[in-house]
Every structure is written in C-alpha cells, then in structure tokens.
Structure 1
Amino acid sequence: MIRAYLADDEEHALNLLELLLGRTGEVEVVGRCGNGLDAFGEIGRLQPDVAFLDIEMPGMNGVELAEKLGSHYPDVQIVFVTAYDRYAISAFERDAVDYLLKPLEMERLLRTVQRVKREVVRLQAALSWIEASEGGDAREKERAPKPQLYVQLLGETQVLIGDRDRLKWRTAKEKELFAYLVVHHGQRIHRDVLLDELWPEENYQKAKVYLHTCVSYLRKDLRQWGVESAVIYEDEKYCLGPDLSGSDYQSLRYALHAARAAEELPSAELAKVLALYTGPLLRDEDYHWAEREVRQLETTMETLRLQLGHLYEQEGAYAQMTETARELLAQSPYNEEAYRLLMRGYAGSGKRDEVFRAYEEMTERLRELSVSPSEVSRRLYRELTETG
C-alpha cells in the first residue's frame, strides 16, 4: 500500500483527492493540511511514499515545498496538483515528475498511482543495494562495492559509473542542469538564476516546476548509484553534493590555475597540464549560458600551446615543437602564429621542404577568409628558405 500525504489550501479539493485515492485500493492517506509550511514538518514526521502538492498555496507554494522536501527527504515522491489549463500542462508533461490537473479525473489518477508505484519499487531496490554495499561485514561490502563515478564535460558530456556503465539521462534538461552545476562547481546558484539560464522564455511558475522536476530526476538517478546528496538546496540556492564535486573539467581548471601561478613551468610539466584537455568543453551541446566559458577555455588552451611550443624551441626539441603546432592548428586552423611555430620547427629539424608545405598550407587556409599571410609570416618564410 502506498502511503500518501496531501497538501492543498482548498478543503473540498483535499476531500475529493482523498476520496479518489481511496477508490484506487492502493493508496493510504496518512496526513493532509492546507499550507506548505505545516506540510513540510508533517511530511518529515510521517515519511510518506508520495506527497500530492497543490502548486498554488499561501506561505509556501507547492514547488517551493517540493524543493525543500527534495533536499531533506529525497525518498518522498512528488506529484503536483494544479489548475493550469491543459495547453500549459502539455508543454511540460514529458519533464514532470507527475501532475494532476484539476478537476481530477479517475483515469489520470490511476496512471499517476502506477507511476508512483514504479518509483517506490525502484527506490526500494536502490536502498537494498546501498544497504548491501555499506552494511554488514567486510565480505558483504566486497560483494557489493560502491561504484566510482566519473563526471566528464570535455568532449562528450556524461557520468561514467565504474568502468562500463553510464548514467542515462531522462530528459535533455536534466543533463543540461547537471552540466551547469558542474561547470559552476564551488558556487551556490540561486534558483532564479537557473530559471533565467535554462528556461529564459518560460513563465516563472512553470519554469520552477521544470527545475524541480530536473532536480528530482538527478537525485533519483544518482541515488541508485549510492550518491545520497546529489543536489543540495538551501536558501533558494542549488549546488552539487560533495560526491559529485569533481570532473575532468575541474581537474583541468585546477591545473591551469596552478600553471598560471607558477613563475616558470618546465615544458614537461606544461605538457602534462595540456594533456588533461581531452576535447572541447560541452562539445556536442548547444548551451547558450556556456558560450563564454567555452571561449575562455579555448583561448587559454591556445595561449598555453603556443607557450609550450616556444619552450620546445628554446630546448631544441623540434619534433615536439612541430607536434604541438599541429595540435594547436587542429584546434585553431587559422592561427598564423601556430603556422610560424610549425615552420620554425621544421626548419630546426632541417626539413626545408616541410617549411614550404606549411607555408602553402597556411596560404590556402587564410584564403578561405579572403586574406593573405601577414608580413611577419612572409618575412619568416623568406628567412627560413633562403638560409641554411
């Protein structure tokens, strides 16, 4: 039997919902009240399987209540009850944890109850896994080890679980919210900032429902893998929990910060930093909020690759110098300084024919932009081909 709590400021709405839930034969109503503030305390005390929350309530509305419940009592499933018209509801049906539209319909309520049952069963399975991995003796823990999570934002955006599995996103917005929180690791992001960044065109109340839905998905999906506090909500601000604070992007950022702080960095150490860059940030995504971060990272990587190439030149390591120039050109194909680095590397290796080919390649590439090599590049080419 599913244990349910009801919150709605309209008494007749509470009576009707309780009546219909009773008729399903699968739900026991363990408590009810008319405002969000009292409901929060009661739900914490009663620990129901599901809370049916009216969106519009005085003091604390249903979405705000759901946000608090998600941080303090993540096991409680949420069903929104709303008087929004059908057209508005259809816009977020695919993203909602679940909803009931007033006036209530028995057929729709039955689908909701079945959905809640599936979530409860899945949650119980996850809890059993956690108990098997964390409880009992050392032999039990060895049989059910907690998988290691690896968050990847460079190249493909994904959460890898152990050495085989990956987190499967329920919706594109769940994935985008997760990426936003990882990119802004260390910051507590106000709810309204997230609404503006991820749902800029949506009605404010509707966008809050979207946000809560995505947060709920993240918490449920990650809890199945042993992450208890995936998303933390406090003072209307969100951040990722400590188990998800690291990523390949954050590792690269820390290494870049250390590299900039060092007065002099040997080429070998700088090469290690650059090796952490395994692909463009959020390569396959089109997130408008990430554009500045992506540009800044690309500019930083270009600057450091040039710096590494110059260090190799000082050391007479011409093979590494040309390899670095090629890596830079793969990232920035119209970078004349990278071509000049490439030509000097070939010249240092005694490969004058390659100098010529590199200059011709640069000329063809720049022609795509309707420009010619600069005087600096032309002068360098003459110097390299007329001497030695």
Structure 2
Amino acid sequence: MVGKEDPLVHVSVRLLGIFQVERKNEQDVWEPIDAPAWGSTYARPLFRRLLCTPGRCLSREQLIRDVLPAGRDDVTTDHYLHKCAYKIRQLFGKEAITTSSVSYRLADQTYIWSDLEAAETLMQKAERLERKQALPLLEEACKLFGRGEALEGETGQWHHAICAAVEREKKSCYLALGHIYEQQGMLWSAEKIYRDLAALYPLDEAALCAQLAFLQRAGMRTEAIAYYEQARAYFVEEGLELSAETQRLLKEISHSLPVQEIFAPQAASIPKNEVVLSWMLAQSPGILEEKASIKPEQKGQNMDQSRRDFLFTLGMVSTGLIATQDLHYESDNSSLPGASEASIGNLAIITHQFRAMQRRGDISIAQGLKTHIETIQGTLEITSNEKLRRELWRLLAQTQLIARLNPHKRSDLARLKTLNEMAIAAARNSGDVFLEAAAVGHLAHLYLREYHDLSKASQFFEDVYQKTHICQALRGWIALVMSSIAARQEDRPKCEVLMAEAMDIAIQIPQTPQNDDPYFTDFSILSISMFGGNNWLALGQARKAYEILSTRNIEELSANRQASAFYDLARTYIALGELEEAQKYAFRSIDTALVTGNNSILPRFITLANAIQEKYSGEPHATAIAEYAQSCMPMKGKVQYV
C-alpha cells in the first residue's frame, strides 16, 4: 500500500478537513502549495474534482459542467482548460496530468497521494484480514477520517454525493474499529470510539444503538438509560422521534441483568448499503438488520454538524452524583457529613469532561455547568475538612472559568464578568496562587476582547505577570496576550519581545494535552502562531500575518477558537486583495461560529464587509459575506450593512 512517505510520491493532498497540498522539492523536502500559487485559473477546483473521481479521470464535458462557469463559448472554455492543465503541470510536473480532446486524467496514488484514497484503501485491506491484523489498519483509517469532513469549503453541486459516501465509509470504519476493540478486550478504547461516533452523528440511530448496546454489554445499564434519555431529548428538540426498534432496545436494557463480560454485538445495526467488514458478521447475527421502522423523512438527517457530545458514565448528570454511601463523618462528635475523597474525585472527573466539551465547542453544556457549580457549592456547605474544602474551592474556580469561557452573547458580558470574579475568589480560597493568577488573566482577556479596554486589561496583566515567574506555561500565556495589547497600542518592539518570550517558553516546556491544562489557557506553539498572525494584522503587516496563518492547521485548535482564527485569515486575505479566498474563510468562520455558539463574532463580518465596500465599491464578495452573516444573526443582533 502506498504511503505519503513512499519515495515515488511527489504530491500529497489532504481532502479530509481543510484542503491542503504539498509537493517534494529538489531536496526531497515537503513544501506547502498555498492559494496564491494556483494563480487566477480554475486549476485548483479542477484538481480537486479529478482527485475525487474513481480512476481520477473525467470527460471534458463533465469538467466543464462541474468546474467552469456557465455561459462560456468553446474557445474560452478550451482556453480555461488549457490553463488549468498547464498550471497543474507547472506545480507538480508533467506526469501529474494527462489530457486529450475528450478527457482529463490525474496521476494515480503512487504519484499524487491523497488521504481520502489512503483511508479507503486501508479499509479495503482490513476487510481481507483477521481482526488482530486489521486493527492497526482501521486505527490509521479512523485517524485519517478524523481530520474532518471531506471537501470542506467546496461549493460545487458535484461534491454532495461524494461527501455522503465518505460519511458512510467513515461511520462503518468507526463501527468496525469499536467492534474489534471489544473483541480484544480493549474496553476503554471501545467506549471512546463509540462515544466519538455518537458525537459525530448525534441524529444517527445506528450510532446511538451502537453506544447503547456497548454500555449494556459493559454492564453499565444505568449509564445506558441516562444516555438514551439525553439522546431522546435531543431528537425531540430537533423535531424527530426515535424509531420503535431503538425504543425496544432500551426496554431490553432496562429489564436485563448486569452483564459480566463483553461479547459480540447483537443490537448494533447499520444500513445494508454501507461498507461492512466480513469478520464483523461472525457471532453477530443482527448487525446487518435494516432499520425498517425509521421514517423515510428521517433518512438523510443523520449528519448533524454540531458534533454534539454527551456526558456519560460519571459525567452524565451532576445532580445527585454524591450518593449517601459516599458521605462520611469527619469525627465521632460531628453531626455534619462531608464528601469523601472519592466523591470529590468524581466531581473532578466531571469538571474535566466539561472542559473537554467546552474546547470542542459544545453549546449544550450551559445548564449542566450551572448544575455542576451548584453541586460543588452544596458539597462545600456540608464539608468541614480543610484539605477537602480547598480541593472543592479549586474545582469551583475551574468550573466557573469553563462557564466564563463558554460561547456567549454580547448581552451576557456582565454575567461573564461576575463569573470570572467569582472564580478569582474561589481560586484564592483554594490557596492555588497560579489558578488565581490564571483567573485574573482570563478577566483581563475579557476586558481586552469584549470591552476593548486596553488600559484595564494591561493593568491586570502587568500585575499577574510579576507573580507567575515560577509557572512558566502560565507566564508564557500572559506574555502572549500582553503582546496582543502591545500590538493594538502599535508598540511593535514590545510586541516582538513578548512574542519571543512566549515562544521561548513554549519550546522549553513539555507539550501536554490541552484538556490537562488546569488553567485553561490553551498555551502552545500553535496558539502563539495564531496570536502572532493577529498581532501582525493589528500592526498593519498583512504579508507577515499571511505567512504565519496560511501555513498552520487551524483545525488543531480547540473548536471554540477556530472561528476567530478563520476570521483572522479572512481579514488577511482582504488586506492582500484576495477577496475570493477571503469570502471562503469568512464563510468557514461563520459556520464554525454557528456550530460552537460563538455568535458574538458575526457582527464583525458586517463591519468587515462595510470596510471592503468603502475600498472596493460594489464588490460582490463583500456583499456575500455581509448577507450570509446577516442571515445567521438573531433578530435582536442585526447590524446594518451599507
């Protein structure tokens, strides 16, 4: 099987997630091909269209319909196609594309490698192997599919059928991998893959049933019932109804005895037209059963883009989590029970789950966070052990910060400020000086981003900056945000010094998973790059901003920060006069904002579009950006577009 690092491969293409192309230079080093390198031709969409075609070959007439603008005469059309082929050969070599009077063909996977074809090949190969040998192939395929949706940003009508087919393959891959994990006794991995599947397709009953059946087989009957209720509420919210088959599965789970061992799936079912690996059928007589009771109008509604996740197991519900048996008396003379270390450990796990969901941009956790805060506060009232109380204060501060960082409306700023101030007080009570400094830093960031009060933000940051010399990661984050203030004050020397300090710290400290960051800063080399691009824009250096932002994978940021990053990239392209690219990234920013609930970013695009119109009167891309942003805004938040 051909891999990207195969010596014969000259071009690497990412079709899953943000479209990216790399080529090997004369020194055999991969170099990115950015948007300007394609020029003003239609070579880029033609290249993508051919890559997504079986055999990578299409007729000239089909390419004209799918790629080129309508209404062109034959001479102009031939000129466009010739320029496209010439540009592709210029970028990737003469072997990259073969043309004739009737068709165009791209080189195969051995010359132009694509992640989508690689994932499909891995699945086909896994189907012919035993479970143990198939496991690493499916893991690699899932890793590729996990990059994102196929053909993101593509607007042509041709891409819809391809995207639907890829989503079916992706779902089948996740189901197959979860099945193998169970068979191999890797229960934590199986639980994660089923959870990821349900998060990707929250309105897909096959994914729901797979998760419910796994929880039943793992003996987590209570969790399965709670998970079902959460899913049912979501379906009702979307105006849908769970099928009779799914309801029967719940009844079976409700009346079943706890299961002591994992066995082959019986209840998981997927549509017959999906890819199914042959060994999944072994000992699984029900796996190909058609879900006949799903209403026809519900078909096609199985790919909701909200990526909604659900708390499960310990994170399913906060209220009532601390059971009576988990409480203990701290002394024989005490009449007031206090929470045990195990109960506080459960609360910590839930806090960690909420942080992971907040980073993924889940907009459904606001009520859960409120309940979780009340639970911690109630536990504090019944706990007198000072060590346990300090830990509870720390969890309270962290949960309040998560609620503060959750997507919000402009009208919520006063509430967010209060939450942040409460988090500072809770952190102070916990005795964690670094958590207190981080909470102050988040308050300063609120003044910078939302209130645009550079003076107050700077005052807070300067104070905290002097107290964080021991905690390097926190100091690096504060230096990074202070560089943003300096950029807006047009103090370029100070901005560059602070950026350099942040980068030096990021290079020196170990890079830990962002979900394990107790101060919720998301401080990393990638976040420094994003801040750097934003700073250069503020300093009027659009070219420097482009050099940074266009070479970074924004999807590696937490979901709740991607909208702002796409917005900065749109601003960069506007500053460079690349308005078509600006529109594409503006739309991506708006779409991401809608998914994560970050509606506060939408008015910025109206302002941005008005600024474009002042410079380029009657510009259609500016009109498209403004109209799309305007259509996505709630009625109360409408901003006038000139």
TM, length-normalised to structure 1: 0.54
* Structure 1: unaligned runs, 5 residues or longer: 1-144
Between stretches 304-313 and 151-160, larger displacement belongs to 304-313
User: Are positions 1:214 and 2:84 aligned together?
Assistant: yes
Partner of 1:359: 228
- Higher helix residue share: 2
CA contact (8 A) 2:212 2:224 kept: yes
**Letter of the structure 1 residue corresponding to residue 44 of structure 2:** K
What SS does the aligned partner of 1:370 have?
coil
3-state SS, counterpart of residue 235 of structure 2: helix
Bigger proportion of residues as strand: 1
The one of 142, 166, 172 aligned to 1:274: 142
Q: How does 1:137-216 map to 2 (within 5 A)?
A: 149-161=11-23, 162-163=29-30, 165-168=32-35, 169-171=38-40, 173-184=42-53, 186-199=55-68, 201-205=70-74, 206-216=76-86
Q: Percent identity, aligned pairs only? A: 24
For the residue of structure 1 that corresponds to 2:104, the secondary structure is strand
Partner residue of 1:373?
242
Instruction: Confirm whether residue 238 of structure 1 aligns to residue 104 of structure 2.
Output: yes
Partner SS for 1:160: strand
Deviation at 1:332, TM superposition (A): 1.8
Deviations 1:249-296 (Å, cap 9, x if unpaired)? 221232233344x27544614333333323222122122222222111
In the alignment, which of 249, 252, 262 is matched to residue 116 of structure 2? 249
In 2, Cα distance between the equivalents of 1:147 and 1:167?
19
Is residue 318–residue 346 contact of structure 1 (8 Å, CA) maintained in 2? no
Task: Give CA deviations for 1:173-195 in whole Å, capped at 9, x if unaligned.
Answer: 32111101222263443322211
Q: 1:317 to 1:345 in 2, by over 3 A?
A: farther
Identify which range, 173-182 or 363-372, moves more after superposition.
363-372
Which position in structure 1 is the counterpart of 2:152?
Answer: 283
Deviation per CA, 1:3-32: give whole Å up to 9, x if none.
Answer: xxxxxxxxxxxxxxxxxxxxxxxxxxxxxx
Q: SS where residue 246 of structure 1 aligns?
A: strand
Task: Tell me if structure 1 keeps the 8 A contact 2:14–2:114.
Answer: yes
- Residues 209-241 of structure 1, C-alpha deviations (whole Å, 9 max, x = no match): 22222222222333xxxx243322234322224
Task: Give the structure 2 partner of residue 303 of structure 1.
Answer: 172
Question: C-alpha separation between the residues in 1 aligned to 2:196 and 2:211?
Answer: 10
* In 1, Cα distance between equivalents of 2:8 and 2:142: 31
Query: Contact (CA 8 Å) 1:185, 1:245: kept in 2 or not?
Result: no
How far apart, CA to CA, are the structure 2 residues paired with 1:165 and 1:302? 30
* Bigger RCO of structures 1 and 2 (CA < 8 A, at least 6 apart): 1
Q: Is the 8 A contact 1:195 1:208 kept in 2?
A: no
After TM superposition, the structure 1 = structure 2 runs for residues 1-388 of structure 1, keeping only pairs within 5 Å, are 149-161=11-23, 162-163=29-30, 165-168=32-35, 169-171=38-40, 173-184=42-53, 186-199=55-68, 201-205=70-74, 206-222=76-92, 227-241=93-107, 244-260=111-127, 262=128, 265-266=131-132, 268=135, 269-277=137-145, 278-386=147-255, 387-388=257-258
C-alpha deviation, 1:353, in angstroms:
4.2
RMSD: 3.0
Provide the secondary structure at the position in 2 that maps to 1:154.
coil
For residue 247 of structure 1, report the CA deviation from its aligned partner. Answer: 1.4
> Is the Cα contact below 8 Å between 1:322 and 1:345 reproduced in 2?
yes
Tell me, yes or no, if the aligned pair for 1:153 and 1:247 is still in contact at 8 Å: yes
CA distance in structure 1 between the partners assigned to 2:41 and 2:163 by the alignment: 19
Give TM-score scaled by structure 2 length.
0.34
Report the alpha carbon displacement of residue 316 of structure 1 after superposing the two structures with TM. Answer: 4.5
